[in-house]
Amino acid sequence: MPEGDTLFQAAHRLGRALTGQTLTAVSGASPRIRSAAGRLQGATVEQVRSHGKHLVIDTSAGLSVRTHLGMTGGWAVYLAGSRRRFGGSVRIVLQTERATAVCTAAPDIDVDSTSMIDLALADLGPDLTGDTFDTGDARRRMAERRQRTVAELITDQTVMAGAGNVYKSEVLFLVGIHPETDPAHLTDDDRGRLIDRSRALLLLNRDRPRRSTTGNHGRGRELWVYGRVGKPCRRCRHAIESAWLGDVERITYWCPDCQPRAT
């Protein structure tokens, strides 16, 4: 599932292939991409960056490509001369003499001036995978947001950018907080632990080929609770539970023994 660590890796991979290269061809599925293709063609890729779940490709034409991969999107890089198999629904193709970058199945993709792309991302919280991270800003944002549950607070990208469904469940388990806890009941120490653990896990996994929150990389042993409904908790052996929570319902997993409901 694409979260901040996935986007960090994708940006790094695309950056190595595209930065400093001239775009020789650009194509895409939407009229907006097709209308911008002529201005992008011939431009140099200046940098590829990520912020939370967004990936941005900046060019010398003053235009940037921004993608949000949602649940199913992905980026792939094909070196010149390699056999290309574009699986899924192709959204945009960026070609240079050296490589071809293909984004498939992304639900949210835009091409606009770099300044407008930056403006669209301005409300996002600090990037959990970034080399610099303003913990104080994240604490302030977390204290100010009015969400119904702490599960929704963790995935609120305007608080801190990059945590999604997997990290939400894993972080809440590791700090021992029930996902349906009212954020108004969190102490400042609780907020600090949630932010610090989120930051630590995403940094730990941003350079790993396969995500692990348990420290175990054996297949099926990488996660504490996510995707393990009905299975025994790795700590206390109680059965893991799950529910669909939030205004936009997303599945959340927890251990009822390790994460008791607040009374």
Catalytic residues: 2-3, 53, 250
Burial (0-12, 13-18, 19+ Cβ within 10 Å), 130: buried
The dihedral built from the CA positions of residue 220, 222, 228 and 233, taken in this order, carries a sign that is positive
Please name the residue ranges forming H helices in the chain. 4-18, 31-40, 114-121, 135-144, 150-154, 165-175, 188-205
Q: What is the 3-state secondary structure (H, E, C) of 95-106?
A: ECCCEEEEEECC
Burial (0-12, 13-18, 19+ Cβ within 10 Å), 194: buried
Q: Reduce the DSSP state of residue 51 to 3 states and report it.
A: strand
- Enumerate residues 6+ apart whose C-beta is below 8 A from 227: 253
The dihedral built from the CA positions of residue 252, 255, 257 and 258, taken in this order, carries a sign that is negative
Question: 184: which DSSP letter?
Answer: G
